[in-house]
Amino acid sequence: MVTKSELLSGVEIGEEWAYRERPRSLGEPVHRVTIIRIRDSDGSIRIRRLDGDDSGLQEWVSHTSLLDRWAAIKPRLNDEQRLLAVREASAMADGAVEYEAALLVVKNCGLGRQLVLGRSRSETGVLRIDNPMRMAERLGLTPEEIGDDPLAFRDRHGTLISPWQAARRLMPTIANVFCNEVMEAIHSGEADLRDEALYGMSYRRSWQDAREKPQFRLHEREPVHAFVRQWCGEETVARFDELIALRTEVLRLGHLLDRAIEALRKRGATTTAATIENDLGVPIAMLMDRERHT
């Protein structure tokens, strides 16, 4: 889509453009028009139609209805047709537990806009990879493997667009490569829901309702998390669980040390208490706080 600033700075009277009344309606016909006038105050454009039954008709239209210069519109329309096929093939992902698991992986793997799954409701299940070559290297795959599907294609900007079936084949690899980030997200999410269920008060009708809702959400996410753990691999999950257990033990010991140091101070052994704190190298409170938020 040509932005307002780009259009107004680059368009010239007399140029031919591709016009679509509803620019976001992919697959709908486009019409060849010529630009008659540009109104700077609101960016609207006066066009004359050059084809069809309305040939010769002049009207004011929004700049957003002008897709591209007529001579350059064919690659865009080709992309639209292929994208429509990818969207249709990916509709099956809507509501699937495996798709929710894939969304969790993509959201938390730390790749940002380089890897996008389901960027809008109309693109449920559609995977977009900004730089396929670089992504293949990061995942330890070949470019052919990363785009292995008859419907997958690179658009005119170089973005790889793949259907859900191709996306789901990539998920175990992505989850395994970025397992630490993904497992951390699961652990944090589950811990937050458990804390809310045990201690949280909210605007809901009753305290009991406030407890049950997080428990329900936690139960609802179990099959999603099970998929992600399976993709990450048993060995990886086991190592992460060991790390969490170690963190829990550190936190427990931190509480014990904190109580012991406080008891020493109350009994006048301030020097001994200070020596223990110095030997640790990190203040107890900071140590425990860091472990809680890791």
Question: Does the pLDDT of residue 238 top 50, yes or no?
Answer: yes
- 134-162 in b/e form (b: 16+ CB < 10 A) is ebbebbebeeeebbebebbbebeeeebbb
Indicate whether 68 and 96 sit together in one domain: no
Last residue of a domain, one of 72, 107, 128: 72
Indicate whether 110 and 153 sit together in one domain: yes
Does 23 fall in a domain? yes
Per-residue pLDDT at 203: 47
Does 207 fall in a domain? no
Per-residue pLDDT at 206: 52
Question: Does the pLDDT of residue 172 top 90, yes or no?
Answer: yes
Indicate whether 45 and 131 sit together in one domain: no
Per-residue pLDDT at 191: 74
Last residue of a domain, one of 72, 100, 115: 72
Indicate whether 170 and 92 sit together in one domain: yes
- What percent of the chain has a predicted confidence (pLDDT) above 70? 79
Note the pTM of the prediction, 2 decimals: 0.74
Please tell me what DSSP assigns to residue 109. Answer: S
Residue type, 8: L
**Stretch (H or E) spanning 274:** helix 270-280
* pLDDT tens per residue across span 69-127: 999 999 999 999 999 999 999 999 988 999 999 999 999 999 999 999 999 999 999 99
* pLDDT tens per residue across span 263-292: 878 888 888 777 777 776 655 555 555 554
Does 202 fall in a domain? no
Per-residue pLDDT at 79: 97
Phi first, then psi, for residue 71 (nearest 5°) are -70, -20
For residue 18, the domain's CATH number is 2.30.30
Residue type, 286: M
Q: Which residues contact 216 (CB under 8 A, 6 or more apart)?
A: none
Q: How far is residue 68's CA from residue 75's CA, in Å, rounded to a whole number?
A: 10
Per-residue pLDDT at 28: 94
Domain count along the chain: 3
Indicate whether 135 and 168 sit together in one domain: yes
Per-residue pLDDT at 219: 73
Question: Hey, what are 63's tokens?
Answer: 């700049």
How far is Cα of residue 2 from the mean position of the Cα atoms in its chain?
24
Indicate whether 93 and 39 sit together in one domain: no
Does 226 fall in a domain? no
Indicate whether 43 and 88 sit together in one domain: no
Indicate whether 14 and 54 sit together in one domain: yes
Domain residue limits at 48: 4-72
Does 199 fall in a domain? no
Indicate whether 93 and 163 sit together in one domain: yes
Per-position DSSP letters for 119-181, written without gaps between them: -SGGGTT-EEES-HHHHHHHHT--HHHHT-STT-EE-TTS-EEE-HHHHHHHHHHHHHHTHHH
The mean pLDDT of 24-48, rounded to a whole number, is: 91
Q: Is residue 233 very low, low, confident or very high in pLDDT (cuts 50, 70, 90)?
A: confident
Q: Which residues contact 186 (CB under 8 A, 6 or more apart)?
A: 104, 225, 228, 229
Indicate whether 170 and 254 sit together in one domain: no
Does 147 fall in a domain? yes
Q: How far is residue 216's CA from residue 280's CA, in Å, rounded to a whole number?
A: 41
Is the model more confident about 233 or about 209?
Answer: 233
Question: Does the pLDDT of residue 210 top 60, yes or no?
Answer: no
Per-residue pLDDT at 55: 94
Indicate whether 68 and 88 sit together in one domain: no
Does 227 fall in a domain? no
Indicate whether 63 and 115 sit together in one domain: no
* pLDDT tens per residue across span 112-171: 999 999 999 999 999 999 999 999 999 999 989 998 999 999 999 999 999 999 999 999
Does 135 fall in a domain? yes
